[in-house]
Amino acid sequence: MIAPDDQLPGVFYLAEGRVSQYDITASGVEVVVNVFKPGAFFPMSWAINKTTNRYFFEASTKVVVVHVVPPADALTFLQDNPDVTFDLLARVYRGADGLLRRMAHLMGGDAQSRLLFEVLNAAYRFGEFQPDGRLFVPLKEPDLARHSGLARETVNRNMQALKKDGLLEVTHKGFLVSDTARIEARLGQEL
């Protein structure tokens, strides 16, 4: 785990697994602000802009494989490999779009809107297609609470409503989404 203001050993390249980037609110609640998946470089703002790291970084899967290089080496690599830099830039813009949508739901939505956004975001980013066409998302209610900033009880209550409406199925390892278009439609009505 990396904590805010830790001396960073370098830029990390994530080869396998997922790493959560989070903050802790004044009341002690962990709020996930980003989740890195394979192919990600982090923390790039520190490497490029020399900003102080203000976040925690922690493995969110059992297996995580990272490579660590000095910031100057990472920046030289990105300058010498425009295809990798373009991929990084594409990831940054997808992430920025996700942050803007999340902000809109935080500012103008209710708890269900916030949860619907997180369910959809997780399905698109981490969903694994099943033989029956559904998407399995390996996140549980505590994970969704950390991602949405909602209390676990609120997440549970809203997940039960989504389950009752046939929008998802909860398992002991995560949840299944059968129709992202229906969730998108519900989300569009919520904001």
* Residue spans per domain, the chain: 1-80, 103-190
Q: What is the pLDDT at residue 69?
A: 95
CB neighbours (10 Å) of residue 61? 14
Euclidean distance between CA atoms 54 and 42, whole angstroms: 13
Q: What is the pLDDT at residue 189?
A: 62
Q: What is the pLDDT at residue 114?
A: 87
Q: What is the pLDDT at residue 190?
A: 55
Q: What is the pLDDT at residue 12?
A: 95
Mean pLDDT of the chain: 90
Instruction: Using DSSP bridges, classify how beta strands 168-170 and 175-177 pair: parallel, antiparallel or unpaired.
Output: antiparallel
pLDDT in tens, 145-175: 988 888 899 999 999 999 999 999 999 999 9
Q: What is the pLDDT at residue 105?
A: 67
Q: What is the pLDDT at residue 191?
A: 46
Residue pair 155/141 in contact (Cβ under 8 Å)? The answer is yes
Between 1.10.10.10, 3.10.105.10, 3.20.190.10, 3.50.50.60, what CATH number should domain 103-190 receive? 1.10.10.10
Q: What is the pTM of this model?
A: 0.71
Q: What is the pLDDT at residue 136?
A: 96
Between 2.60.120.260, 2.60.120.10, 3.20.20.140, 3.40.718.10, what CATH number should domain 1-80 receive? 2.60.120.10
Low-confidence ranges of the chain (pLDDT < 70): 105, 107, 189-191
Q: What is the pLDDT at residue 74?
A: 95
